[in-house]
Structure 1
Amino acid sequence: MKVTKAQAAANRAHVVETASQLFRERGFDGVGVADLMAAAGFTHGGFYKQFGSKADLMAEAMVCGIAQTGTLAEGVEASEFIRHYLSRAHRDSRATGCTVAALSGDAARQPDSVRVAFKDGVERLLALLSQKGLSSDPAEAAQARVRILDVLSHAVGAIVLSRACPDDSPLADEILAVCRDAILRSQTPPGTEKATTRKRKTV
C-alpha cells in the first residue's frame, strides 16, 4: 500500500519525537539508527528514506525537544517554572525533561549542523522566556535578556551537576535546592522580602 504524503509526514514527525526522547535519555552516541527506528515502530531501512544522515535527525530532534521545553514555561509564573525545573522530578525525567540540560555536553562534540540547531534552539527558548516581561525599550530588553540568560545557565548547570551525582547522593538534592533558592531570591524585587517579613511579624 502506498503511503500518502500526510502519513509520511506524520511518520517522520513520530521518528523525530521518538529520537528526541531517546537522545535525551541516552545521549546521541547511545542510540543507534536501528534501535531508534525499532522504538518508533519502523524498519531500519526506512530511515534513509526520511533523513539524509543521523546528524540530520539529531538536529531536528534537538529542535523538537527544545520546543517541548519551551511549553513548560507557557502560562506559568517564573517562580513556578523554576521550582519545577529545579525539582527532583524534572532531574529524574531525562527522556521528557529539558533538552538543553540533557544534551549540552553531547552537542559540543557534534557536527556544526547539530551545534547550530542547538544554538538556534537556545535562542528560541530565550525569546520565549523573555516574552512575559517584554519591553519596547531596547536597553530594558537587553537587560531582561541578560537576566534570563543568567537564570537559564544557572538552572541548566544545576541539573547537569545533579545528574552527574549518584541518584541517592545527598549532594544531588543539595545542588538543586541551593540553586533553586538562589534563583528565586534573585527574582524577588529589592525590599520585597524584608517588607513581607515585617508584615508577618506584626500579624
Structure 2
Amino acid sequence: MNFIDHKQVLPPGLMDGSIEFFIYEHEVKCLYNGRVLSFNEFPEEILQIIDSDMAANPKAMKALFDWDITDPDEQMRQYIACRFGGFDNSPDINAEGIIQPAEYVDCGRRGNCAYEGKLCSSIILKNGILTKREIDVLREIGRGFLDKEICDKLNISQDTLRSHKDSICCKADVQRKAGLSQLAYKYKLI
C-alpha cells in the first residue's frame, strides 16, 4: 500500500484516546475510542472523571440543586450538557484523562436561564469575560448586521452599541468590526 498521510485533523475521541461530549437527539453522548456512546454506556473511568470535576465545582452543584435536579445521574447529564455539550473538535477530556476548560455552548437558554454562568461557561477572553449583552452584540456583528440593524434588533441606542463594541474589543484585544466578526465565528455564535 502506498497511502499518503494527509495530516488531517480528526475529531477528538475518534483515534486519540480523548473524549468529546455532545448532545444529539436530546441525549448526552460522547465520542470515545472511535465509538459514539450514550450516557448509559459511558465507561466507569469517564464517570469518575466527571464526578471528580463536579465535586470540585460547588457553584455548579449548587445550581443543579437550585434547579431541583437531585438524581445523581440526571445531575451528571445536565452538568455535561451545560459545560461540555457542544461538539467543537476540541477534546473535553484529553488523552491523559484531564478535563479541559469548559467551553461556551449556546444551548438555546442563554439569557433566560437562571443558572447561566453558574453551571455553564461564559466566553472568557484575554482581558475579561463577556456579558450576556456583549455576546448578543457579538452574535449580531458576526451575522453581518449593520449597527442600526443591531440597535433595532436589540433595542439599544447607538451609544450603547458603541460601548458594547469597545468593551468587547478591549476584552478580546482585537480591532473593530473585522476582529469582532472573527471572534463571533471562533466562538460559534454564527
Structure richer in strand, relative to its length: 2
Bigger RCO (CA 8 Å, 6+ sep): 1
Q: Which has the larger radius of gyration?
A: 1
Name the structure with the higher helix share: 1
TM-score, normalised to structure 2, is 0.27
